[in-house]
A and B are shown apart, each in its own frame.
Chain A
Amino acid sequence: MGYVAVTAGEEIIERAEQLFEKRRVSGDSESLGVDQLDDHLGRLTDRVMSESGLYAPRLAALAAKQAQGDTVEATFLLRAYRSTLERFDETPIVKPGEMLARRRVSPAFKDVPGGQILGATKDYTQRLLDFDLVDGDATNPTGEWDLDDKGDPEQLTTVTELLREEGLLYEPDEPDFGEPIDTTRESVTHPPDRDAVLQALARGETGAVTALGYSALRGYGQVHPTLAEVRVGRLPVRIEHPYTGEAVTVTHTDVTESEAVVPVYEKREDPQFAFGYGLTFGRNERKVIGMTVLDASIQLDSEEEPAENAEFVLDTVDGMDSFGFIEHLKLPHYVTFQSILDRIRSIRDSQDVPDDGSRGNRRTDADDTSGSVAGVNSDD
């Protein structure tokens, strides 16, 4: 009976796993080092870290290797590991303005304080396959650069700050510096607070966030934002020193951030822009812009459009949830299917549908059907 092994369930599981592992080593190429993954396929490890909610490049590379490149499976590995770790502290809040940006583009204004910083991007190149890469990588193309006057990276005034000073931006609510919700430790109930929404989106599956964000632009929603800016850079991670109480920088994380204004006026008497925000670990501009659209859409709090309905977005955006439930359909369902067969056979009997499926009477009198249906009262 297929995958109900009669006696050797565990051995079969083990062998199936061994066959899966064999895929990685059965080729002729050299084994792929975890460092290589992080060096060469940084976007992959960035994505795994972002969807896991755990900043750990080496572990993300390991997970991606173990999952043979399946990002959702790698995320699953990393999240399952993360959930066994102690959560021992909360960091003081870091302001986005503290970011040391390596890249920053502001589509809203031609010039902004600090300027446009293109940074590393292939946005404006032609997407042509580079066959030179087949036989290894070229030498460092920036090797000849004269970097004597490079200067230090700057902290930049955020573009939304300029709009805020003018009173053009709606402030959703008073900043709440109380204890933030942690959606990994508390289940989300509806309607969710904005911190829960942002956490769920930040951990959302990249494809799902992109698709849902796109749905709003495609016409299933009202939000068509103007990006104030998209930034890629490093943010400090600080903890309070246990003795002195002072904030101490312990490490940095690479993040991508996006802020947008939306011309949906919050108040008739005092027109202000609505506002959307996105932030995610690593470099993932597509996801972070999608997140920004969704954050702005959810704040409209409408049930008219999928992207504006917090329940719909939060229920569908998590990769671990959707992957698990979609793939669980592979599990045996013969008990439930037998039950479904019982229903359809009973209904076909009561409607006198012949066995060959050709339609007899459309429907018999309802009184006739009750005679053929066994009544088992639960009180019996």
Chain B
Amino acid sequence: MTEQTRERTAGQGTPVATDSVAAALADVEGDGLAGYNYAYLDEHTKREVRRATLKAVAVPGHQVPYASRPMPLARGWGTGGIQASLSLLGPTDTFKVIDQGADESVNAANIRRLAADTADVATTTDTTEADIIQSRHRIPEEVLTDEQRLVLQVPITDPLRTVDPSDAANRRRHAHGNYGKMWVHLYESVVEYGEIDIAARYPTMVAGRYLMDPSPIPRWDVPKLDDSKHLTILAAGREARIYAVPPHTSVEPLAFEDRMFTVERFPGQACHACGSTDTYLVAVSEDSESGGTDDAEGAFETRHVCNDASFCAKRRENPDLPKDHHLDPSGVDWGPATPEADETGGDWV
């Protein structure tokens, strides 16, 4: 789309007239996204998604089937998340989209553009300003409130898929609360490696009843789901399932008394941009600044940087900003402690 047509169509998700075939065709043949319903999906579909979401909220951690329409995004690229978001968004909402922690990732930008073009919503990169946050594989560092909803994109809906590929068999296991096979899987991991070798997609028990795949968020983010203030909706497009963690629901990672759940560690590392030691860091390899041209050693330099890009930007302004800076009262539990809440300066390893 050229810049001009985009300007013309931005926010023009208009209903298609249904009083006559000619009128409908005239509307559909408009340019760009005009001619599509408000928020792209037709109202029947949005109602179906909302019903599935309500059911998911009523039965925390249970996977609710829904139709999952073909979207103008490829399956596996956030089609479940965008269907859940578009079903919830209204014109007064503010929408934030992040992909692996970054607002500016090209796929996040594409999803944000679809919502902005068809649902006429404001968009933001500031976590605290968003009403709905759609995220791929991260929960933001800043504490979410009871006025916010988090939509997580889900590639694989069932934690039991690891131990049995059959959906029919796993549905039976969920119905019976029979998670023996997963416990054995964890035990075998301990026998093989001395600890539980699960990186992301850590199996978690929701409200003491259903085992849930929390989507490939890092283990770092899993404790944030426990007794949270916000509603989390997990939506899979390709696998056509929606599930949810309602506010103030217990979310407990499976682990053993003598092999506890552990989050990722970054020993001795701090974000090289903002200096944070209490955020999820990712390694980046960059050309060495010393730039020794003939020096093969040190041609690359590995540094660590905050994964949550928008919070990192705030910390660069104010290095002491706690993760619950926008809340009253402060000191809300949210993942590993902030320096303010913990005299050890986040050195919790």
Contact = CB atoms under 8 A, between A and B. Distances in A.
Question: Among the interface residues B77, B99, B193, B261, which one has the most CB atoms of the partner chain A within 10 A?
Answer: B193
B342 to A, nearest CB: 11
A185 B218 CA distance: 33
A341 B283 contact: yes
A76 interface: yes
A376 B346 CA distance: 13
Contacts of B124: none
Nearest to B167: A190
20 contacts: A4-B102, A6-B104, A13-B109, A14-B1, A184-B67, A184-B70, A185-B67, A186-B65, A191-B168, A320-B74, A325-B155, A331-B100, A332-B100, A335-B138, A339-B218, A347-B195, A369-B195, A370-B195, A375-B260, A376-B263
A341 B267 CA distance: 13
Contacts of A10: 109, 113
A12 B106 CA distance: 8
A5 B106 contact: yes
A350 B109 contact: no
A339 B101 CA distance: 14
A370 B258 CA distance: 8
Interface stretch (A77-85, A149-157, A237-245): A77-85
A327 B76 contact: yes
A-B complex: 9 closest residue pairs judged by Cβ atoms: A324-B75, A9-B109, A328-B76, A187-B240, A325-B76, A375-B260, A190-B168, A324-B76, A369-B194
A347 B197 contact: yes
A333 B199 CA distance: 12
B316 interface: no
A331 B200 contact: no
Contacts of B168: 190-191, 311
Given A4-B104, A76-B70, A377-B261, A339 B219 contact: yes
A335 B280 contact: yes
A191 B168 CA distance: 7
A3 to B, nearest CB: 5
A358 interface: no
B149 interface: no
B194 A80 contact: no
A134 to B, nearest CB: 36
Interface in B250-273: 251-253, 258-265
B84 interface: no
Interface in A264-279: none
B175 interface: no
A338 B306 CA distance: 12
B70 A350 contact: no
Interface of A: 1, 3-7, 9-10, 12-14, 76, 79-80, 82-84, 86, 184-191, 303, 311-312, 315, 320-321, 323-328, 331-336, 338-343, 346-347, 350-351, 363-364, 366, 369-370, 373-379
B70 A320 contact: yes
A323 B74 CA distance: 8
A26 B106 CA distance: 26
B74 A324 contact: yes
A84 B136 CA distance: 25
Given A80-B70, A369-B194, A373-B262, A335 B200 contact: yes
Interface of B: 1, 3, 18, 36-37, 40, 42, 65-72, 74-77, 79, 99-102, 104-110, 113, 136-138, 155, 165-168, 171, 190, 193-195, 197-200, 216-220, 222-223, 226, 238, 240-241, 251-253, 258-265, 280-284, 307, 336, 348-349
A69 to B, nearest CB: 18
A26 to B, nearest CB: 18
A375 B253 CA distance: 12
Given A5-B104, A83-B70, A340-B199, A376 B194 contact: no
A345 to B, nearest CB: 9
B165 to A, nearest CB: 8
Contact of A9 (B106, B219, B349): B106
Contacts of B252: 378-379
A13 B111 CA distance: 12
Contacts of A331: 77, 99-100, 107, 136
A376 B261 contact: yes
Contacts of A325: 75-76, 155, 238
A190 B199 CA distance: 30
B281 A338 contact: yes
Contacts of A188: 240
Given A6-B104, A334-B282, A327 B74 contact: yes
Given A328-B155, A335-B200, A378-B253, 15 more contacts: A5-B104, A9-B105, A14-B3, A184-B70, A187-B68, A190-B168, A323-B74, A325-B155, A326-B76, A336-B218, A339-B219, A340-B200, A342-B264, A364-B194, A373-B260
Contacts of B217: 335
Contacts of A342: 199, 264-265
Contacts of B165: 311-312
B191 to A, nearest CB: 9
A104 to B, nearest CB: 34
A347 B195 CA distance: 7
A220 B253 CA distance: 40
Contacts of A303: 166
Given A325-B155, A335-B137, A335-B280, A9 B263 contact: no
Contacts of B100: 331-336
A20 to B, nearest CB: 13
A332 B216 CA distance: 12
A311 B167 contact: yes
A76 B193 CA distance: 43
Nearest to B266: A342
Contacts of A350: 193-195
A343 B198 contact: yes
Contacts of A187: 65-68, 240-241
A19 to B, nearest CB: 14
B211 to A, nearest CB: 15
B238 A321 contact: yes
B100 to A, nearest CB: 4
Contact of B226 (A7, A324, A375, A378): A378
Contacts of B101: 335
Contacts of B197: 343, 347
Nearest to A6: B104
Contact of A79 (B3, B70, B137, B283): B70
A38 B220 CA distance: 54
Nearest to A182: B67
Nearest to A370: B258
